[in-house]
Chains A and B, each alone.
Chain A
Amino acid sequence: MSSLLELDQVTMRFGGVTALREVDLNVDEGEILGLIGPNGAGKTTVFNVVTGVFAPTSGMIRFQGKDLHIEPRAGLGLLDGVASRLGPLKGVLTRRRSRNRITQLGIARTFQNIRLFSEMSALENVLVGTDNHHQTSVPGAVLRLPRHRAEEHSGRERALELLELVGIAHRAEETARNLPYGDQRRLEIARALATEPRLLLLDEPAAGFNPNEKRALSALIRKIRDTGYTILLIEHDMGLVMPLCDRVAVLDFGQKIADGLPSTVQSDDKVINAYLGVPA
């Protein structure tokens, strides 16, 4: 069990449209895996099933060996990991894992179309992420209990650290929507990191960047990986993907058509055809 995330024959259907067809995909601990493919190939759908926005129509996703979409009911935590093997008892002992619980397991993402909390400051956006592993709830906050104050303090420090990491610490107090476009993309990464994920999903983080910004982003992604995160990256720019990724998987019309080292994938006929069209 070296894989952090495993997609096992995942199919996702929306009415008559099959967005993903029997996709197998492994993400190994510590790697940067590139997910590429033409528009509409199903890349973002992969992100959506992995983060629990959709439950797959069939197939299964495991994260650290646990079934990602099914969790044991309250008080049955020991069953996590074997939830899918409970047979007829499954419906009684388990329930669907909600999106925020999936984030708590250690998966965080950014969005292709930036979705920051636009009227909150950059710092507050990241603080929402740090709250992911805080214990304080309403009673603690109302009474300003010591744990609440400690968490606020450490959360704030961690958030500033992350803003520093992505290079926008000097804009911590600015409202998110007033940040320049590139900084908004960086803020999304900081917010996702603040949830302390094992696996970070980046959905076209370099969209709309100029070559200089892309280089800087590339360095940032590598730095984040080296700090101990695993990264699954959707990106269109081959100049960015090929040198950065340890491995690349290619989707076309919802099916995985290639998976391997960047150099191998690059010269794969099926991949070339998918991007350029089959010669008539």
Chain B
Amino acid sequence: MRSLPRIEIVGPVAEAWNRMPRSARWLATLVLVGFLFLLPNLTIPVIDTPGSDFASVLFFPVGIYVLIALGLNVVVGEAGLLDLGYVAFFAIGGYAMALLGTETGIPFVLILPLGILASMAGGLILGTPTLRLRGDYLAIVTLGFGEIIRIIARNTDSIGGPRGINQIPHPPSVGGLKFGVIDPKPYYWLLLVIIILVTLLVRNLQRSRVGRAWTAIREDEDAAELMGVPTFKYKLWAFAIGAGIGGSGGVLYASKVISITPDNFLFILSILFLSAVVLGGSGNMPGVILGAVVVAYLPERFRGFSEYRELVFGAVLVAMMVFRPQGLLPSRRRAAELRRGDQSPDDAVGGEVATT
């Protein structure tokens, strides 16, 4: 392959970060988190969104996309499983909130975990029969699952059919924070808390036996299995964790928008979520967050342009695949795996261990 000049946007930043003492890193993180909490109150001319309310945009699509991309990253980036129907879990979470909120008196603090559990159950139902498949086959089945969930919602009259569900209650007010129709900021803050929690939990997983198992499965599933890694179990966990995170996004989304319909959960969303992960840098959480922000924010910033979003997207993705296939902020390991993929396909090691 002809060697192209690789544009290191973040190399120096990452290096500076690693050189910083521990205390400075903590401080920088705190400042960043503080900034993110203040963000909806700030009016920064360049990043403001002229066509729509900035704080609203921060909640949806930006924040929701970030959360969902973090969840999908567990499946795609960590375990290396291609999921093309991820919107299904967003939908399950959304419908769980809508149904439990309108039909029962269960408080929001319980609906959130219930919605997460429901999505995880969905992940297990999808994963148990299908995670024996690999690669392209898995992608096709997950794509089908995403559509099945949406079509079931559309055709089940007891959950509103194509009209969906209206009058979804808001979370109750906590102290001075009023979750209402007018002010989107409390939703954004709640979402931000959940994103931070998810980031910490996933980071704990990465640094454990579980993360090692995922990496091993991604790199050589047969060898992993023969070294005692219960591959099926950990793939299923990746699916369930990813689904749970997607579901939490669905619950939050539904709790704000008052009404949801099956058309909120179209296939294109699965593709946009996946684009966010791949564009940002599959397997690297800062990268994935950046990818989600780019995918969600740019069309809002350039409102007049958003009609052409998919067109521009296609071009950007093609350009990315040519010039920077590892994503904007790749994990070093994933980048190396991709480069290696260019040269010698892993499966070419011969019939020593047959892929069954």
B1 interfacial by beta-carbon distance below 8 Å? no
Q: Are the C-beta atoms of A195 and B337 separated by less than 8 Å? A: no
Contact residues of A between 119 and 155, Cβ < 8 Å to B? 119-120, 124, 127-129, 131-132, 134, 136-138, 140-144, 148, 151-152
Binds A, one of B101-109, B122-130, B139-147, B347-355: B347-355
Q: Does B336 contact A (CB under 8 A)?
A: yes
B349-A128 in contact (CB<8A): no
Residues in chain A near residue B5, CB distance under 8 A: none
Question: Which residues of chain B come closer than 8 Å to A26, judged between CB atoms?
Answer: none
Find chain B residues with CB under 8 A from A64 CB.
none
CB of A68 to closest CB in B, whole Å = 14
CA distance in complex: A136, B225 (Å): 17
B-contacting 9-mer, from A107-115, A222-230, A267-275: A107-115
Contact partner, A138, options B216, B226, B228, B241, Cβ 8 Å: B241
What is the minimal beta-carbon distance from A156 to any residue of chain B, in angstroms? 12
Name which residue of chain A comes closest to B333, CB basis.
Answer: A119
Docked pose: A120 CA to B241 CA in angstroms: 23
Task: Tell me the smallest distance from the CB of B336 to a CB of chain A, in Å.
Answer: 5
Q: How many residues of B contact A (CB 8 A)?
A: 37
- C-alpha spacing A195/B229, complex, angstroms: 10
Tell me which of A31-39, A46-54, A84-92, A208-216 binds B: A46-54
- Flag if A192 contacts B223 (CB, 8 Å): no
Please tell me which one of the listed residues A48, A111, A119, A131 contacts residue B229 in the complex, with CB atoms under 8 A apart: A131
For residue A141, which residues in chain B have a CB less than 8 angstroms away from its CB?
Answer: 204-205, 208-211
Please indicate the chain B residues that have their CB under 8 angstroms from the CB of A143 in the complex: 204
Question: Inside 8 A of A138's CB, which chain B residues have their CB?
Answer: 205, 210, 237, 241
Which of A124, A137, A140, A148 has the most CB atoms of chain B within a 10 A radius of its CB? Answer: A137
A69 at the B interface (CB under 8 A): no
The segment from A75-83, A97-105, A163-171, A235-243 that touches chain B is A97-105
Q: In this complex, what residue of A is CB-closest to B349? A: A113
Residues of B within 8 A of A44 (CB): 352
Say whether A191 faces chain B, with CB atoms less than 8 Å apart. yes
Nearest CB in chain B: distance from A43 CB, A: 11
Minimal beta-carbon separation of A276 from chain B (angstroms): 27
Cβ of A18 within 8 Å of any chain B Cβ, yes or no, is no
Question: Given A108-B227, A120-B215, A191-B227, does the pair A53, B353 have CB atoms closer than 8 Å?
Answer: yes
Contact of B213 with A by CB under 8 A: yes
Residues of B within 8 A of A203 (CB): 352
Q: Which residues of B contact A54 (CB under 8 A)?
A: 354
**Complex CA distance for A64 and B226, rounded to whole angstroms:** 19
Task: Tell me how far the C-beta of A163 lies from the nearest C-beta in chain B, rounded to whole angstroms.
Answer: 16
**B354 and A53 contacting across the interface, CB-CB below 8 Å:** yes
Given known A120-B216, A151-B209, A195-B227, contact A113–B201 (CB-CB < 8 A) = no
Taking beta carbons and an 8 Å cutoff, which residues of B are in contact with A? 201, 204-205, 208-213, 215-216, 219-220, 222-233, 237, 241, 333, 336-337, 340, 349-350, 352-354, 356
